[in-house]
Structure 1
Amino acid sequence: MNIYDFKVKNIKEEEVSLDQYKGKVALIINSATKCGFTPQYDELQDLYEKYKEENFIILDFPCNQFGNQAPGSNEEILSFCDAKFGITFPMFSKIEVNGENAHPLYKFLKSQKGFAGFDEGHELTPVLKKMLSEADPDYEKDSSIKWNFTKFLIDRDGNVVERFEPTEAIFVIENKIKELI
Protein backbone atom coordinates (compact mmCIF):
# COMPACT_ATOMS: atom_id res chain seq x y z
CA MET A 1 0.00 0.00 0.00
CA ASN A 2 1.16 3.56 -0.77
CA ILE A 3 -0.36 7.02 -1.27
CA TYR A 4 -1.38 6.16 -4.83
CA ASP A 5 -4.08 3.88 -3.40
CA PHE A 6 -6.07 6.86 -2.10
CA LYS A 7 -8.69 9.14 -3.56
CA VAL A 8 -9.22 12.63 -2.21
CA LYS A 9 -11.33 15.66 -3.04
CA ASN A 10 -9.66 18.68 -4.52
CA ILE A 11 -10.45 22.18 -3.25
CA LYS A 12 -13.45 22.28 -5.64
CA GLU A 13 -14.81 19.04 -4.08
CA GLU A 14 -14.02 16.91 -7.16
CA GLU A 15 -12.73 13.42 -6.44
CA VAL A 16 -9.20 12.78 -7.68
CA SER A 17 -6.88 9.82 -7.36
CA LEU A 18 -3.43 10.41 -5.95
CA ASP A 19 -2.06 8.01 -8.55
CA GLN A 20 -1.91 11.02 -10.87
CA TYR A 21 1.24 11.99 -8.92
CA LYS A 22 3.09 8.72 -9.61
CA GLY A 23 6.75 9.33 -10.25
CA LYS A 24 6.84 12.62 -8.33
CA VAL A 25 8.46 13.40 -5.00
CA ALA A 26 5.65 14.82 -2.87
CA LEU A 27 5.34 16.81 0.31
CA ILE A 28 1.91 16.37 1.92
CA ILE A 29 0.91 19.03 4.44
CA ASN A 30 -2.04 19.81 6.68
CA SER A 31 -2.45 23.57 6.69
CA ALA A 32 -4.37 26.41 8.30
CA THR A 33 -4.86 30.02 7.26
CA LYS A 34 -4.87 31.63 10.71
CA CYS A 35 -1.92 29.89 12.40
CA GLY A 36 1.46 31.04 13.66
CA PHE A 37 2.92 28.68 11.05
CA THR A 38 0.82 30.06 8.15
CA PRO A 39 3.79 32.18 6.90
CA GLN A 40 5.40 28.84 5.96
CA TYR A 41 3.24 29.08 2.84
CA ASP A 42 5.83 31.54 1.46
CA GLU A 43 8.68 29.05 1.96
CA LEU A 44 6.58 26.17 0.63
CA GLN A 45 5.63 28.09 -2.52
CA ASP A 46 9.32 28.97 -3.06
CA LEU A 47 10.25 25.31 -2.61
CA TYR A 48 7.59 24.26 -5.09
CA GLU A 49 8.72 26.82 -7.68
CA LYS A 50 12.34 25.75 -7.25
CA TYR A 51 11.77 22.01 -7.76
CA LYS A 52 8.49 21.55 -9.67
CA GLU A 53 10.37 21.02 -12.95
CA GLU A 54 12.18 18.11 -11.26
CA ASN A 55 8.90 16.26 -10.60
CA PHE A 56 8.29 17.67 -7.14
CA ILE A 57 4.78 18.44 -5.90
CA ILE A 58 3.23 19.78 -2.71
CA LEU A 59 -0.23 18.52 -1.76
CA ASP A 60 -2.01 20.83 0.69
CA PHE A 61 -4.86 19.61 2.92
CA PRO A 62 -6.44 22.37 5.03
CA CYS A 63 -7.54 21.21 8.47
CA ASN A 64 -9.48 23.03 11.18
CA GLN A 65 -8.70 20.62 14.04
CA PHE A 66 -5.98 22.70 15.70
CA GLY A 67 -7.23 25.81 17.43
CA ASN A 68 -9.93 26.35 14.78
CA GLN A 69 -7.27 28.05 12.66
CA ALA A 70 -8.74 27.08 9.27
CA PRO A 71 -12.31 28.28 9.78
CA GLY A 72 -13.14 29.30 6.21
CA SER A 73 -14.84 27.43 3.42
CA ASN A 74 -12.75 25.78 0.72
CA GLU A 75 -13.37 28.81 -1.50
CA GLU A 76 -12.29 31.23 1.24
CA ILE A 77 -9.13 29.21 1.94
CA LEU A 78 -8.27 29.08 -1.76
CA SER A 79 -8.86 32.82 -2.16
CA PHE A 80 -6.73 33.62 0.91
CA CYS A 81 -3.83 31.41 -0.20
CA ASP A 82 -3.90 32.85 -3.70
CA ALA A 83 -4.11 36.49 -2.62
CA LYS A 84 -1.69 36.36 0.31
CA PHE A 85 0.88 33.78 -0.85
CA GLY A 86 0.28 33.15 -4.56
CA ILE A 87 -0.04 29.41 -3.95
CA THR A 88 0.14 27.41 -7.18
CA PHE A 89 0.56 23.86 -5.83
CA PRO A 90 -2.54 21.64 -5.54
CA MET A 91 -4.90 22.35 -2.68
CA PHE A 92 -7.50 19.90 -1.49
CA SER A 93 -10.77 20.00 0.36
CA LYS A 94 -10.64 20.63 4.10
CA ILE A 95 -10.29 17.35 6.01
CA GLU A 96 -9.77 15.96 9.48
CA VAL A 97 -6.38 14.38 10.17
CA ASN A 98 -7.02 12.94 13.65
CA GLY A 99 -9.85 11.10 15.34
CA GLU A 100 -12.51 8.77 14.03
CA ASN A 101 -13.30 11.09 11.10
CA ALA A 102 -9.67 11.32 10.01
CA HIS A 103 -9.27 10.96 6.27
CA PRO A 104 -7.98 7.48 5.30
CA LEU A 105 -4.92 9.08 3.67
CA TYR A 106 -3.92 10.60 6.99
CA LYS A 107 -4.59 7.38 8.86
CA PHE A 108 -2.14 5.75 6.45
CA LEU A 109 0.46 8.54 6.71
CA LYS A 110 0.43 8.39 10.51
CA SER A 111 0.74 4.59 10.44
CA GLN A 112 3.89 4.95 8.36
CA LYS A 113 5.64 7.70 10.34
CA GLY A 114 4.89 8.62 13.93
CA PHE A 115 5.51 11.85 15.79
CA ALA A 116 9.06 12.97 15.06
CA GLY A 117 9.52 15.48 17.90
CA PHE A 118 9.74 19.25 17.70
CA ASP A 119 12.86 21.21 16.75
CA GLU A 120 14.17 22.39 20.13
CA GLY A 121 15.60 25.53 18.54
CA HIS A 122 12.26 26.79 17.20
CA GLU A 123 10.65 29.68 19.08
CA LEU A 124 7.19 28.02 19.12
CA THR A 125 8.39 24.64 20.46
CA PRO A 126 7.96 25.56 24.16
CA VAL A 127 4.43 26.82 23.47
CA LEU A 128 3.46 23.65 21.59
CA LYS A 129 5.01 21.35 24.18
CA LYS A 130 3.25 23.12 27.06
CA MET A 131 -0.13 23.16 25.33
CA LEU A 132 0.06 19.55 24.17
CA SER A 133 1.36 18.15 27.47
CA GLU A 134 -1.43 19.92 29.37
CA ALA A 135 -3.99 18.25 27.11
CA ASP A 136 -2.19 14.86 27.15
CA PRO A 137 0.99 14.22 29.15
CA ASP A 138 1.78 11.27 26.84
CA TYR A 139 1.24 13.18 23.56
CA GLU A 140 4.72 12.20 22.30
CA LYS A 141 3.87 8.49 22.36
CA ASP A 142 1.17 8.41 19.69
CA SER A 143 1.37 9.11 15.98
CA SER A 144 -1.39 11.72 15.87
CA ILE A 145 -0.81 14.97 14.03
CA LYS A 146 0.12 17.49 16.71
CA TRP A 147 -0.46 20.79 14.86
CA ASN A 148 -0.89 22.58 11.55
CA PHE A 149 1.84 22.32 8.92
CA THR A 150 2.98 18.80 9.75
CA LYS A 151 4.59 17.46 6.57
CA PHE A 152 5.11 14.00 5.10
CA LEU A 153 7.76 13.44 2.44
CA ILE A 154 6.81 10.86 -0.19
CA ASP A 155 9.21 9.21 -2.64
CA ARG A 156 8.56 8.65 -6.35
CA ASP A 157 7.03 5.24 -5.59
CA GLY A 158 4.43 6.67 -3.20
CA ASN A 159 6.16 5.55 0.00
CA VAL A 160 6.27 7.71 3.13
CA VAL A 161 9.95 8.51 3.68
CA GLU A 162 9.91 11.07 6.47
CA ARG A 163 7.67 13.14 8.72
CA PHE A 164 8.48 16.72 9.63
CA GLU A 165 6.79 18.53 12.48
CA PRO A 166 5.79 22.19 11.91
CA THR A 167 8.87 23.44 13.77
CA GLU A 168 11.31 21.82 11.31
CA ALA A 169 13.40 24.32 9.35
CA ILE A 170 12.61 24.49 5.65
CA PHE A 171 16.27 23.96 4.70
CA VAL A 172 16.20 20.55 6.45
CA ILE A 173 13.13 19.58 4.44
CA GLU A 174 14.67 20.93 1.23
CA ASN A 175 17.82 18.84 1.77
CA LYS A 176 15.71 15.68 2.13
CA ILE A 177 13.75 16.57 -1.00
CA LYS A 178 17.00 17.04 -2.96
CA GLU A 179 18.10 13.54 -1.87
CA LEU A 180 14.96 12.08 -3.48
CA ILE A 181 14.96 14.20 -6.61
Structure 2
Amino acid sequence: MPCAYDFSLPGLAGGTVDLSAWRGKPMLIVNTASKCGFTPQYEGLQSLWSHTEHELIVIGVPSNDFGKQEPGDAAEISTFCSRNYGVSFPMTEKCHVKGPQTAPLFGWLASQGGFFSRPRWNFFKYVIDRQGQLSTWFSSLASPESGRVRDAVSRVILTR
Protein backbone atom coordinates (compact mmCIF):
# COMPACT_ATOMS: atom_id res chain seq x y z
CA MET A 1 0.00 0.00 0.00
CA PRO A 2 1.46 3.42 -0.91
CA CYS A 3 2.44 5.77 1.87
CA ALA A 4 3.76 9.33 2.21
CA TYR A 5 7.33 8.04 2.37
CA ASP A 6 6.99 6.93 -1.27
CA PHE A 7 6.98 10.52 -2.54
CA SER A 8 9.56 13.19 -3.22
CA LEU A 9 9.42 16.75 -4.50
CA PRO A 10 12.06 19.14 -5.82
CA GLY A 11 13.57 21.16 -2.98
CA LEU A 12 13.19 24.93 -2.78
CA ALA A 13 16.96 25.37 -2.50
CA GLY A 14 17.69 22.68 -5.07
CA GLY A 15 18.05 18.96 -4.59
CA THR A 16 15.14 16.80 -3.60
CA VAL A 17 12.86 16.66 -0.59
CA ASP A 18 12.65 12.87 -0.35
CA LEU A 19 10.05 11.92 2.25
CA SER A 20 11.60 8.46 2.62
CA ALA A 21 14.49 10.15 4.46
CA TRP A 22 12.10 10.56 7.41
CA ARG A 23 10.63 7.04 7.39
CA GLY A 24 9.21 6.33 10.85
CA LYS A 25 8.82 10.02 11.75
CA PRO A 26 5.48 11.81 11.79
CA MET A 27 5.03 14.67 9.35
CA LEU A 28 2.92 17.77 8.86
CA ILE A 29 2.65 18.67 5.17
CA VAL A 30 1.24 22.11 4.35
CA ASN A 31 0.57 23.87 1.04
CA THR A 32 1.79 27.43 1.56
CA ALA A 33 1.74 30.87 -0.06
CA SER A 34 3.57 34.12 0.73
CA LYS A 35 0.80 36.60 -0.07
CA CYS A 36 -2.19 35.02 1.66
CA GLY A 37 -4.23 36.05 4.68
CA PHE A 38 -3.11 32.77 6.27
CA THR A 39 0.61 33.41 5.62
CA PRO A 40 1.24 34.28 9.31
CA GLN A 41 0.66 30.56 9.96
CA TYR A 42 4.31 30.14 8.96
CA GLU A 43 5.08 31.31 12.50
CA GLY A 44 3.05 28.48 14.05
CA LEU A 45 4.54 25.94 11.65
CA GLN A 46 8.05 27.05 12.59
CA SER A 47 7.07 26.83 16.27
CA LEU A 48 5.88 23.22 15.83
CA TRP A 49 9.10 22.34 14.00
CA SER A 50 11.26 23.91 16.71
CA HIS A 51 9.31 22.85 19.79
CA THR A 52 9.06 19.21 18.76
CA GLU A 53 12.85 19.27 18.27
CA HIS A 54 12.31 18.02 14.72
CA GLU A 55 10.50 14.89 15.97
CA LEU A 56 7.66 16.19 13.78
CA ILE A 57 8.87 16.85 10.25
CA VAL A 58 7.14 19.98 8.95
CA ILE A 59 7.22 20.33 5.17
CA GLY A 60 6.09 23.48 3.37
CA VAL A 61 4.90 23.12 -0.22
CA PRO A 62 4.51 26.54 -1.89
CA SER A 63 1.74 26.73 -4.46
CA ASN A 64 0.36 29.45 -6.69
CA ASP A 65 -2.92 27.59 -7.27
CA PHE A 66 -5.14 29.79 -5.10
CA GLY A 67 -5.51 33.47 -5.92
CA LYS A 68 -2.01 33.59 -7.47
CA GLN A 69 -0.73 34.21 -3.92
CA GLU A 70 2.70 32.63 -4.46
CA PRO A 71 4.02 34.56 -7.48
CA GLY A 72 7.72 34.48 -6.57
CA ASP A 73 10.51 32.22 -7.74
CA ALA A 74 12.39 29.87 -5.41
CA ALA A 75 14.86 32.54 -4.25
CA GLU A 76 12.08 35.03 -3.46
CA ILE A 77 10.04 32.43 -1.56
CA SER A 78 13.07 31.31 0.44
CA THR A 79 14.09 34.87 1.32
CA PHE A 80 10.52 35.82 2.29
CA CYS A 81 10.07 32.77 4.54
CA SER A 82 13.39 33.07 6.35
CA ARG A 83 13.37 36.87 6.69
CA ASN A 84 9.75 37.21 7.87
CA TYR A 85 9.16 33.97 9.78
CA GLY A 86 12.57 32.39 10.42
CA VAL A 87 11.49 29.28 8.52
CA SER A 88 14.05 26.51 8.85
CA PHE A 89 11.86 23.47 8.13
CA PRO A 90 12.12 21.77 4.71
CA MET A 91 10.43 23.58 1.84
CA THR A 92 9.78 22.26 -1.64
CA GLU A 93 9.78 24.02 -4.95
CA LYS A 94 6.49 25.63 -5.92
CA CYS A 95 4.11 23.00 -7.26
CA HIS A 96 0.47 22.36 -8.09
CA VAL A 97 -1.74 20.96 -5.35
CA LYS A 98 -4.94 20.86 -7.44
CA GLY A 99 -5.97 20.39 -11.04
CA PRO A 100 -4.54 18.28 -13.84
CA GLN A 101 -0.90 19.00 -12.89
CA THR A 102 -1.35 18.09 -9.20
CA ALA A 103 1.85 16.82 -7.62
CA PRO A 104 1.53 13.06 -7.00
CA LEU A 105 1.87 13.58 -3.23
CA PHE A 106 -1.23 15.79 -3.17
CA GLY A 107 -3.11 13.35 -5.39
CA TRP A 108 -2.32 10.62 -2.86
CA LEU A 109 -3.34 12.83 0.09
CA ALA A 110 -6.69 13.55 -1.60
CA SER A 111 -7.24 9.84 -2.29
CA GLN A 112 -6.56 9.04 1.37
CA GLY A 113 -8.57 11.85 2.94
CA GLY A 114 -11.48 11.97 0.52
CA PHE A 115 -13.06 14.75 -1.49
CA PHE A 116 -13.16 17.35 1.30
CA SER A 117 -9.46 16.88 2.12
CA ARG A 118 -8.40 18.30 -1.25
CA PRO A 119 -6.83 21.72 -0.73
CA ARG A 120 -9.40 24.41 -1.37
CA TRP A 121 -7.05 27.23 -0.37
CA ASN A 122 -3.55 27.80 0.93
CA PHE A 123 -2.40 26.31 4.26
CA PHE A 124 -4.29 23.01 4.26
CA LYS A 125 -2.49 20.75 6.74
CA TYR A 126 -1.95 17.00 6.52
CA VAL A 127 -0.83 15.02 9.57
CA ILE A 128 1.07 11.86 8.64
CA ASP A 129 1.65 9.08 11.19
CA ARG A 130 4.84 7.05 11.73
CA GLN A 131 3.70 4.45 9.17
CA GLY A 132 3.43 7.16 6.51
CA GLN A 133 -0.36 7.13 6.47
CA LEU A 134 -2.65 10.15 6.59
CA SER A 135 -3.83 10.47 10.19
CA THR A 136 -5.99 13.57 9.72
CA TRP A 137 -6.12 16.85 7.85
CA PHE A 138 -7.12 20.43 8.60
CA SER A 139 -8.35 23.29 6.46
CA SER A 140 -6.70 26.70 6.26
CA LEU A 141 -8.88 27.91 9.11
CA ALA A 142 -7.14 25.64 11.65
CA SER A 143 -4.08 27.42 12.95
CA PRO A 144 -0.99 25.27 13.59
CA GLU A 145 -1.20 26.57 17.16
CA SER A 146 -4.84 25.52 17.67
CA GLY A 147 -5.64 22.84 20.21
CA ARG A 148 -7.03 20.55 17.50
CA VAL A 149 -3.86 20.64 15.42
CA ARG A 150 -1.56 20.35 18.44
CA ASP A 151 -3.57 17.38 19.78
CA ALA A 152 -3.37 15.60 16.40
CA VAL A 153 0.38 16.26 16.25
CA SER A 154 0.87 15.00 19.82
CA ARG A 155 -1.00 11.79 19.00
CA VAL A 156 1.24 10.93 16.02
CA ILE A 157 4.40 11.87 17.93
CA LEU A 158 3.47 9.73 20.95
CA THR A 159 2.26 6.71 18.96
CA ARG A 160 5.13 4.33 18.29
What TM-score do the two structures reach when normalised by structure 2? 0.91
**1:174 alignment counterpart:** 150
Matches of 2:147 and 2:66, distance apart in 1: 25
Structure 1 residue runs of 4 or more that deviate by more than 3 Å after TM superposition: none
Which secondary structure does the structure 1 equivalent of 2:53 belong to?
Answer: helix
Which secondary structure does the structure 2 equivalent of 1:37 belong to?
Answer: coil
Q: 2:122 aligns with which of 102, 127, 148?
A: 148
Gaps of at least 5 residues in structure 1 are: 117-142
Matches of 2:17 and 2:92, distance apart in 1: 10
The CA RMSD over aligned residues, in Å, is 1.3
168 and 42 in structure 1: CA distance in 2 versus 1, 3 angstrom threshold? same
Query: Does 1:157 pair with 2:118?
Result: no
Superposed counterparts of 1:1-181, under 5 Å = 1-53=2-54, 55-114=55-114, 116=116, 143-169=117-143, 170-181=146-157
Which secondary structure does the structure 2 equivalent of 1:92 belong to?
Answer: coil
| Deviation readout 1:58-116 (Å, 9 max, x if unpaired) | 01100001000000001100000000000010001000011110000100011111355
| Higher mean displacement: 15-24 or 159-168 | 15-24
Gaps of at least 5 residues in structure 2 are: none
Matches of 1:115 and 1:49, distance apart in 2: 32
Q: Is the Cα contact below 8 Å between 1:37 and 1:149 reproduced in 2?
A: yes
- Structure (1 or 2) with the larger CA radius of gyration: 1
Shift of 1:12: 2.3
Tell me the amino acid that sits aligned with residue 18 of structure 1: L
Identity %: 38
**1:133 alignment counterpart:** none
Alignment: residue pair count = 154
**1:135 alignment counterpart:** none
Shift of 1:24: 1.0
What TM-score do the two structures reach when normalised by structure 1? 0.81
Q: Is the Cα contact below 8 Å between 2:48 and 2:56 reproduced in 1?
A: no
